[in-house]
Protein backbone atom coordinates (compact mmCIF):
# COMPACT_ATOMS: atom_id res chain seq x y z
CA UNK A 1 0.00 0.00 0.00
CA UNK A 2 2.11 2.86 -1.28
CA UNK A 3 -0.20 5.22 -3.17
CA UNK A 4 -2.81 7.73 -2.16
CA UNK A 5 -5.40 5.72 -4.06
CA UNK A 6 -4.61 2.57 -2.06
CA UNK A 7 -4.75 4.39 1.26
CA UNK A 8 -8.08 6.03 0.47
CA UNK A 9 -9.55 2.78 -0.84
CA UNK A 10 -8.65 1.14 2.46
CA UNK A 11 -10.26 4.03 4.38
CA UNK A 12 -13.45 3.79 2.29
CA UNK A 13 -13.67 0.01 2.69
CA UNK A 14 -13.37 0.30 6.47
CA UNK A 15 -15.95 3.07 6.61
CA UNK A 16 -18.53 1.26 4.52
CA UNK A 17 -18.59 -1.90 6.66
CA UNK A 18 -18.74 -0.20 10.05
CA UNK A 19 -22.14 1.28 10.92
CA UNK A 20 -20.62 3.43 13.66
CA UNK A 21 -18.62 5.39 11.09
CA UNK A 22 -21.05 8.05 9.90
CA UNK A 23 -18.68 10.20 7.82
CA UNK A 24 -15.05 10.37 6.79
CA UNK A 25 -13.22 13.49 5.65
CA UNK A 26 -9.69 14.43 4.66
CA UNK A 27 -7.99 17.69 5.61
CA UNK A 28 -4.60 19.22 5.13
CA UNK A 29 -2.14 19.58 2.30
CA UNK A 30 -3.46 16.64 0.29
CA UNK A 31 -6.66 18.56 -0.43
CA UNK A 32 -4.91 21.88 -1.05
CA UNK A 33 -4.51 22.52 -4.77
CA UNK A 34 -1.85 25.15 -4.01
CA UNK A 35 0.52 22.60 -2.46
CA UNK A 36 2.75 20.58 -4.79
CA UNK A 37 2.38 16.89 -3.83
CA UNK A 38 5.38 14.97 -2.52
CA UNK A 39 6.16 11.76 -0.66
CA UNK A 40 6.23 13.47 2.74
CA UNK A 41 2.62 14.62 2.87
CA UNK A 42 0.61 13.18 5.73
CA UNK A 43 -2.86 11.79 5.33
CA UNK A 44 -5.14 13.76 7.68
CA UNK A 45 -8.20 11.55 7.99
CA UNK A 46 -11.15 12.39 10.25
CA UNK A 47 -13.77 9.79 11.22
CA UNK A 48 -17.05 11.09 12.62
CA UNK A 49 -18.54 8.25 14.59
CA UNK A 50 -21.52 7.16 16.64
CA UNK A 51 -21.18 5.12 19.86
CA UNK A 52 -17.95 7.04 20.35
CA UNK A 53 -16.82 5.56 23.67
CA UNK A 54 -17.23 2.04 22.36
CA UNK A 55 -15.75 2.80 18.94
CA UNK A 56 -12.45 4.24 20.18
CA UNK A 57 -11.84 1.04 22.14
CA UNK A 58 -11.89 -1.03 18.93
CA UNK A 59 -9.35 0.61 16.66
CA UNK A 60 -7.69 -2.63 15.57
CA UNK A 61 -8.59 -1.82 11.94
CA UNK A 62 -5.70 0.64 11.98
CA UNK A 63 -3.33 -2.32 11.71
CA UNK A 64 -4.78 -3.03 8.27
CA UNK A 65 -2.72 -0.08 7.03
CA UNK A 66 0.50 -1.86 7.99
CA UNK A 67 2.97 -2.06 10.83
CA UNK A 68 3.85 1.23 12.48
CA UNK A 69 7.37 2.20 13.48
CA UNK A 70 6.20 5.00 15.78
CA UNK A 71 2.86 6.37 16.90
CA UNK A 72 1.17 8.82 19.23
CA UNK A 73 -2.33 8.57 20.64
CA UNK A 74 -3.90 11.49 22.48
CA UNK A 75 -7.42 12.11 23.67
CA UNK A 76 -8.15 15.83 23.74
CA UNK A 77 -10.87 17.52 25.74
CA UNK A 78 -12.08 21.11 25.33
CA UNK A 79 -14.72 23.33 26.88
CA UNK A 80 -15.65 24.77 23.51
CA UNK A 81 -16.19 23.44 20.01
CA UNK A 82 -15.29 19.76 19.72
CA UNK A 83 -15.28 18.87 23.40
CA UNK A 84 -13.89 15.36 23.02
CA UNK A 85 -11.81 13.81 20.23
CA UNK A 86 -9.07 11.24 19.80
CA UNK A 87 -5.93 11.71 17.69
CA UNK A 88 -4.04 8.59 16.63
CA UNK A 89 -0.99 9.42 14.52
CA UNK A 90 1.18 6.73 12.95
CA UNK A 91 4.23 6.41 10.73
CA UNK A 92 4.11 3.03 9.02
CA UNK A 93 7.04 0.88 7.94
CA UNK A 94 6.36 1.79 4.31
CA UNK A 95 6.98 5.43 5.44
CA UNK A 96 3.41 6.53 4.92
CA UNK A 97 2.14 8.68 7.77
CA UNK A 98 -1.54 8.83 8.62
CA UNK A 99 -3.01 11.12 11.26
CA UNK A 100 -6.34 9.62 12.26
CA UNK A 101 -8.83 11.77 14.10
CA UNK A 102 -11.96 10.36 15.72
CA UNK A 103 -14.81 12.74 16.57
CA UNK A 104 -18.27 12.06 18.05
CA UNK A 105 -20.84 12.68 15.32
CA UNK A 106 -22.67 15.22 17.48
CA UNK A 107 -19.76 17.61 16.90
CA UNK A 108 -19.96 17.40 13.12
CA UNK A 109 -21.01 21.04 12.80
CA UNK A 110 -18.04 22.29 14.85
CA UNK A 111 -15.70 20.15 12.78
CA UNK A 112 -17.24 21.31 9.50
CA UNK A 113 -16.76 24.97 10.43
CA UNK A 114 -13.18 24.78 11.66
CA UNK A 115 -11.38 24.30 8.33
CA UNK A 116 -12.30 24.94 4.69
CA UNK A 117 -9.54 22.58 3.58
CA UNK A 118 -11.93 19.67 3.79
CA UNK A 119 -12.79 16.93 1.33
CA UNK A 120 -15.69 14.63 2.15
CA UNK A 121 -14.87 10.98 1.43
CA UNK A 122 -17.92 9.31 3.03
CA UNK A 123 -21.15 10.91 4.21
CA UNK A 124 -23.77 8.39 5.29
CA UNK A 125 -25.85 11.07 7.02
CA UNK A 126 -25.69 13.76 4.29
CA UNK A 127 -24.66 16.25 6.95
CA UNK A 128 -21.85 17.47 4.70
CA UNK A 129 -23.83 17.85 1.50
CA UNK A 130 -23.49 21.65 1.62
CA UNK A 131 -19.68 21.58 1.89
CA UNK A 132 -18.00 23.43 -0.98
CA UNK A 133 -14.74 22.53 -2.69
CA UNK A 134 -11.63 22.54 -0.47
CA UNK A 135 -10.16 26.01 -0.02
CA UNK A 136 -7.16 27.36 1.89
CA UNK A 137 -8.93 30.68 2.43
CA UNK A 138 -8.90 30.09 6.20
CA UNK A 139 -5.11 30.31 6.06
CA UNK A 140 -4.79 33.38 3.85
CA UNK A 141 -2.64 36.13 5.27
CA UNK A 142 -4.84 38.52 7.20
CA UNK A 143 -4.44 42.24 6.68
CA UNK A 144 -3.04 43.70 9.91
CA UNK A 145 -4.46 46.63 11.76
CA UNK A 146 -2.20 49.53 12.57
CA UNK A 147 -2.22 48.27 16.16
CA UNK A 148 -0.96 44.86 14.95
CA UNK A 149 1.83 46.58 13.04
CA UNK A 150 2.91 48.81 15.91
CA UNK A 151 2.88 45.92 18.39
CA UNK A 152 4.97 43.82 16.03
CA UNK A 153 7.55 46.59 15.69
CA UNK A 154 7.60 47.25 19.41
CA UNK A 155 8.11 43.55 20.16
CA UNK A 156 11.00 43.34 17.70
CA UNK A 157 12.85 46.29 19.22
CA UNK A 158 12.08 45.28 22.80
CA UNK A 159 13.35 41.72 22.28
CA UNK A 160 16.53 43.00 20.66
CA UNK A 161 17.60 44.30 24.07
CA UNK A 162 17.49 40.74 25.41
CA UNK A 163 19.76 39.60 22.60
CA UNK A 164 22.28 42.29 23.54
CA UNK A 165 22.12 41.10 27.14
CA UNK A 166 22.87 37.56 26.00
CA UNK A 167 25.75 38.73 23.80
CA UNK A 168 27.35 40.82 26.54
CA UNK A 169 27.06 37.97 29.05
CA UNK A 170 28.11 35.42 26.42
CA UNK A 171 24.91 33.50 27.13
CA UNK A 172 24.68 31.94 23.69
CA UNK A 173 21.43 30.00 24.01
CA UNK A 174 19.66 32.95 25.65
CA UNK A 175 20.72 35.25 22.82
CA UNK A 176 19.73 32.79 20.08
CA UNK A 177 16.33 32.12 21.66
CA UNK A 178 15.50 35.81 21.54
CA UNK A 179 16.89 36.17 18.02
CA UNK A 180 14.30 33.58 17.04
CA UNK A 181 11.54 35.78 18.47
CA UNK A 182 12.86 38.76 16.53
CA UNK A 183 12.82 36.67 13.37
CA UNK A 184 9.17 35.78 13.94
CA UNK A 185 8.39 39.51 13.93
CA UNK A 186 10.28 39.80 10.66
CA UNK A 187 8.20 36.91 9.30
CA UNK A 188 5.10 38.94 10.15
CA UNK A 189 6.31 41.85 8.03
CA UNK A 190 7.27 39.59 5.14
CA UNK A 191 3.87 37.89 5.28
CA UNK A 192 2.09 41.24 5.30
CA UNK A 193 4.08 42.40 2.29
CA UNK A 194 3.16 39.20 0.43
CA UNK A 195 -0.47 39.55 1.51
CA UNK A 196 -0.61 43.11 0.20
CA UNK A 197 0.97 42.13 -3.12
CA UNK A 198 -1.51 39.30 -3.64
CA UNK A 199 -4.62 41.09 -2.37
CA UNK A 200 -4.69 39.03 0.85
CA UNK A 201 -5.59 35.89 -1.10
CA UNK A 202 -2.52 33.72 -0.48
CA UNK A 203 -0.97 31.75 2.34
CA UNK A 204 2.71 31.25 3.05
CA UNK A 205 1.88 27.99 4.77
CA UNK A 206 2.68 26.44 8.11
CA UNK A 207 5.98 27.77 9.50
CA UNK A 208 6.14 30.07 6.45
CA UNK A 209 7.26 27.09 4.34
CA UNK A 210 5.96 28.66 1.10
CA UNK A 211 7.43 32.10 1.71
CA UNK A 212 10.32 31.59 -0.71
CA UNK A 213 8.00 31.48 -3.72
CA UNK A 214 6.64 34.96 -2.94
CA UNK A 215 9.62 37.08 -1.86
CA UNK A 216 12.64 38.36 -3.77
CA UNK A 217 15.89 36.43 -3.95
CA UNK A 218 17.59 39.21 -1.99
CA UNK A 219 14.99 38.99 0.79
CA UNK A 220 15.38 35.23 0.87
CA UNK A 221 19.17 35.37 1.15
CA UNK A 222 18.96 37.92 3.96
CA UNK A 223 16.43 35.73 5.75
CA UNK A 224 18.59 32.61 5.53
CA UNK A 225 21.51 34.58 6.94
CA UNK A 226 19.47 35.37 10.05
CA UNK A 227 20.27 31.94 11.51
CA UNK A 228 23.51 32.11 13.51
CA UNK A 229 26.03 29.49 14.52
CA UNK A 230 27.03 29.19 18.15
CA UNK A 231 29.67 31.91 18.18
CA UNK A 232 29.17 35.30 19.78
CA UNK A 233 30.64 37.16 16.82
CA UNK A 234 28.21 35.47 14.44
CA UNK A 235 25.25 36.11 16.74
CA UNK A 236 26.23 39.79 16.82
CA UNK A 237 26.50 39.88 13.02
CA UNK A 238 23.08 38.22 12.66
CA UNK A 239 21.53 40.70 15.09
CA UNK A 240 22.78 43.62 13.01
CA UNK A 241 21.49 42.04 9.79
CA UNK A 242 18.08 41.36 11.31
CA UNK A 243 17.85 44.93 12.52
CA UNK A 244 18.79 46.29 9.10
CA UNK A 245 16.27 44.11 7.28
CA UNK A 246 13.47 44.79 9.76
CA UNK A 247 14.12 48.54 9.81
CA UNK A 248 13.90 48.81 6.02
CA UNK A 249 10.92 46.48 5.71
CA UNK A 250 8.95 48.20 8.47
CA UNK A 251 9.23 51.47 6.54
CA UNK A 252 8.06 49.72 3.39
CA UNK A 253 5.05 48.18 5.16
CA UNK A 254 4.11 51.48 6.79
CA UNK A 255 4.07 53.11 3.35
CA UNK A 256 2.15 50.28 1.67
CA UNK A 257 -0.53 50.14 4.35
CA UNK A 258 -0.50 53.82 5.27
CA UNK A 259 0.48 53.11 8.88
CA UNK A 260 2.39 55.42 11.20
CA UNK A 261 5.83 54.11 12.11
CA UNK A 262 7.48 54.95 15.41
CA UNK A 263 10.86 56.04 14.05
CA UNK A 264 11.90 57.44 17.42
CA UNK A 265 11.55 54.07 19.14
CA UNK A 266 13.42 52.25 16.37
CA UNK A 267 16.24 54.79 16.22
CA UNK A 268 16.58 54.92 20.00
CA UNK A 269 17.06 51.15 20.16
CA UNK A 270 19.44 51.12 17.19
CA UNK A 271 21.56 53.72 18.98
CA UNK A 272 21.38 51.76 22.26
CA UNK A 273 22.53 48.56 20.55
CA UNK A 274 25.38 50.28 18.72
CA UNK A 275 26.65 51.80 21.95
CA UNK A 276 26.37 48.48 23.78
CA UNK A 277 28.37 46.74 21.07
CA UNK A 278 31.01 49.49 21.25
CA UNK A 279 31.05 49.27 25.09
CA UNK A 280 30.04 52.91 25.40
The CATH architecture annotation of domain 4-139 reads 2-Layer Sandwich (3.30)
Pairing outcome for strands 68-77 and 84-92: antiparallel
Those residues with Cβ within 8 angstroms of residue 64's Cβ, 6 or more apart along the chain or in another chain: 10, 14
Domain layout of the chain by residue ranges: 4-139, 146-277
Question: 146-277 adopts what CATH topology?
Answer: 1.20.120
Cα separations in angstroms, 112 against 47, 61, 109, 116, 127: 12, 25, 5, 8, 9
pTM for the complete prediction? 0.86
| Phi (first) and psi of residue 60, to 5 degrees | -65, -20
Those residues with Cβ within 8 angstroms of residue 216's Cβ, 6 or more apart along the chain or in another chain: none
Q: How far apart are the first and last CA of the chain?
A: 66
pLDDT digit of tens for each residue in the chain (280 aa)?
A: 568 889 999 999 999 999 999 999 999 999 998 888 888 899 999 999 999 999 999 899 999 999 999 999 999 999 999 999 999 999 999 999 999 999 999 999 999 988 888 999 999 998 888 888 888 888 999 999 999 999 999 999 999 999 999 999 999 999 999 999 999 999 999 999 999 999 999 999 989 999 999 999 999 999 999 999 989 999 999 999 999 999 999 999 999 999 999 999 999 999 999 999 988 6
Give 92-120 pLDDT, tens digit per residue: 999 999 999 999 999 999 999 888 889 99
Amino acid sequence: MNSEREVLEKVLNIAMVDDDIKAVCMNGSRVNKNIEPDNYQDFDIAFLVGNYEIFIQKLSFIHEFGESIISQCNRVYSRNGIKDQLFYMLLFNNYIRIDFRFIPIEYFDDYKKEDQLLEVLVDKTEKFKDVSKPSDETYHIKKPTEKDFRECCNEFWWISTYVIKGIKREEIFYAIEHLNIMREMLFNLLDWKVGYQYDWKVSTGKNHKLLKRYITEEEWILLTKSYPNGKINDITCVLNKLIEQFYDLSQEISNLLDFNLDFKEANNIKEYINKQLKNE
